[in-house]
Amino acid sequence: MFRALQPQLLQRLKSFLKLQRDYPASPYIFQSSRLGPLAHDTIAGIVERAGELAGLPFPIHAHMLQHGTGYYLANRGIDTRTIQSYLAHKNIQHTVRYTELASTKFQGLWDD
């Protein structure tokens, strides 16, 4: 399942990808030729194909993007509840896996 992007993030991505001038009336970043959202299967196929083209030695799936985001936020020292909310996890245990391996887990714990 893909989560809706926050308006500020959507705006930044559109600006970065320069899609505003190409598709000014659409709220979607990844869209079909009919200016609607791409189907989940289509996005999954694009991500899978990108992994193949990159020559990665393991299969890639779209949900790995969410995992990557979780690990990135945890390594930046973002607290677990904030990550849980951002990733829309109902159960905190689904979020804890990202923070368990964070390299910054104990950073600053005993700063004098």
pLDDT digits 0-9 by tens, 60-70: 998 888 888 89
Mean pLDDT of 92-104: 82
Mean pLDDT of 41-63: 89
**Mean pLDDT rounded to a whole number for the chain:** 79
Phi, psi of 69, deg, nearest 5? -65, -45
Whether this prediction's pTM lies above 0.85 is answered by no
Tracing tokens 């990202």 back to the chain, one arrives at 98
> How far is it, in rounded angstroms, from Cα 93 to Cα 71?
14
Q: Quick one: angle between helices 63-75 and 80-87, nearest 10?
A: 160
Please give the residue that has the higher pLDDT: either 5 or 28: 28
Q: Quick one: angle between helices 80-87 and 93-100, nearest 10?
A: 120
Q: pLDDT at residue 3 above 70?
A: no
**pLDDT recorded at residue 1:** 43
Asked if 74 contacts 101 with a C-beta cutoff of 8 angstroms, the reply is yes
Helix (H, G, I), strand (E, B) or coil at 96: helix
Confidence of residue 23 (pLDDT cuts 50, 70, 90): low
Mean pLDDT of 96-104: 78
